[in-house]
Amino acid sequence: MYSFTNDYSEGAHPRILQAIMEANLVQNTGYSLDTHTSHAISLIRQEIRCETADVHIIPGGTQTNLIAISAALKPYQAVISASTGHINVHETGAIEATGHKVLAMDTPDGKLTPQLVRQALECHTDEHMVQPKMVYISNSTEVGTQYSKAELEALSHLCRLEGLWLFMDGARMGAALTSPVNDLTLADIARLTDLFYIGGTKNGALFGEALVILHEDLKPDFRFLIKQRGAMLAKGWLLGIQFEELFRDNLFYEMAGHANAMAETIRTALTDLGYAFASDSRTNQLFPIFSDDMIRELREHITFEMNRRIDETHCCIRLVTSWATTQEGVEELLRFVRAWPRPVPGTSTAP
């Protein structure tokens, strides 16, 4: 059965595997001190238009989040996140396990705003409460939305004014940057944040997230933190090779663009058929609202994740496309949907 469960169901782009095979018997220096990694870092620095950035390629996203956040915060400091933020719900308390509170703010669309950040600041006034010191945002977000340049500039402005670190989780950075409604570049993000990462795992690498550190204060001794958290891969060149390929000839954008295009096909078809979505996503995660009957039947044709109940007879599901999603897979899904009775207008509206 074709899977729309997530964007990490397949391995890596063949070019990436090919590069790994070619380097296989060459003796490399361990722990990311190899030439592939240096080259990947210089490609990334070029792409973000910042020659002074520190870049560390780390195997996984939860690792990257917990290392970046615990590196930047003092023991009594906290990180502000949307309540839907990955660090708040889907990392088994990894941030708290490093000793820090996540201050979760409810949002309508998975995005933090200056107003929400200010609200978090205002209710933390003295030493009996944690001190908010970092703003964590995901781009694209966990509900498929994304930040515009204006939104990111506003957040960045507030963070600098208030002395807050601005950290962008880019596990799905590719999807955000190749969305039809995007107006941000990696160079903008490097200019507006203090640190962020570029996700490989969910965009056609075997694994690997490139953490980019912009602010000088966050750079020293960072490799100690990576090692201590168990995230320094012995054969670190495997990470370097993958990011060399991702940032050579735009492979990174091509793969994300493909995932988005596949999602856009599905989104357009569902919209045309009258279906509503629980989230206004133009990236590779879609949250259509279907009736329980329809969902039950759909399970016989494709695999996907439940998201949440909308009303007594409807739920929202999550459909995820990837760099590897095939036209055939999409067709299979759409064939089913087109054959199913159209929704009665007004019955399946997003909240």
Pair 122, 64: CB distance under 8 Å: no
When the beta carbons of 78 and 210 are compared against its own copies, the nearer one is: 78
- What is the maximum span of the chain, computed from C-alpha positions, in angstroms? 64
Binding residue (CB under 8 A) for its own copies from 108, 180, 230, 274: 230
Binding residue (CB under 8 A) for its own copies from 15, 219, 223, 301: 223
Q: Least distance from C-beta 222 to its own copies, angstroms? A: 9
Taking the C-alpha atoms of residue 304 and residue 318, their distance in angstroms, rounded to an integer, is 6
Length of the chain: 351
Site residues for its own copies, 23-52, by CB under 8 A, read 23-31
Site residues for its own copies, 151-170, by CB under 8 A, read none
195 forms part of the interface with its own copies (CB under 8 A): no
Taking the C-alpha atoms of residue 66 and residue 349, their distance in angstroms, rounded to an integer, is 37
When the beta carbons of 104 and 273 are compared against its own copies, the nearer one is: 104
Binding residue (CB under 8 A) for its own copies from 36, 45, 56, 101: 101
Site residues for its own copies, 103-132, by CB under 8 A, read 104, 127-131
284 forms part of the interface with its own copies (CB under 8 A): no
Q: Least distance from C-beta 241 to its own copies, angstroms? A: 10
Q: Which stretch binds its own copies (CB under 8 A): 98-106, 177-185, 258-266, 273-281?
A: 98-106
For 105, the 3-state DSSP assignment is: strand
Binding residue (CB under 8 A) for its own copies from 47, 54, 91, 169: 91
DSSP letters, 39-100, are HHHHHHHHHTT-TT-EEEEES-HHHHHHHHHHHH--TTEEEEEETT-HHHHSSTTHHHHTT-
Q: Are strands 289-291 and 195-199 parallel, antiparallel or unpaired?
A: unpaired
Per rule CB under 8 A, count of chain residues that contact its own copies: 76
When the beta carbons of 103 and 158 are compared against its own copies, the nearer one is: 103
74 forms part of the interface with its own copies (CB under 8 A): yes
57 forms part of the interface with its own copies (CB under 8 A): no
| Single-letter residue type at 219 | K
Q: Least distance from C-beta 210 to its own copies, angstroms? A: 16
Q: Least distance from C-beta 166 to its own copies, angstroms? A: 20
Binding residue (CB under 8 A) for its own copies from 51, 92, 161, 300: 92
Pair 210, 55: CB distance under 8 Å: yes
What's the angle, vertex CA 320, arms to CA 315 and CA 321, rounded to 5? 150
Cα→Cα distances 34→39, 60, 183, Å: 9, 19, 35
What's the angle, vertex CA 217, arms to CA 215 and CA 222, rounded to 5? 95
Q: Least distance from C-beta 22 to its own copies, angstroms? A: 10
When the beta carbons of 51 and 126 are compared against its own copies, the nearer one is: 126
Site residues for its own copies, 246-275, by CB under 8 A, read none
Cα→Cα distances 148→73, 152, 181, 253, Å: 27, 6, 8, 18
Binding residue (CB under 8 A) for its own copies from 36, 45, 56, 59: 59
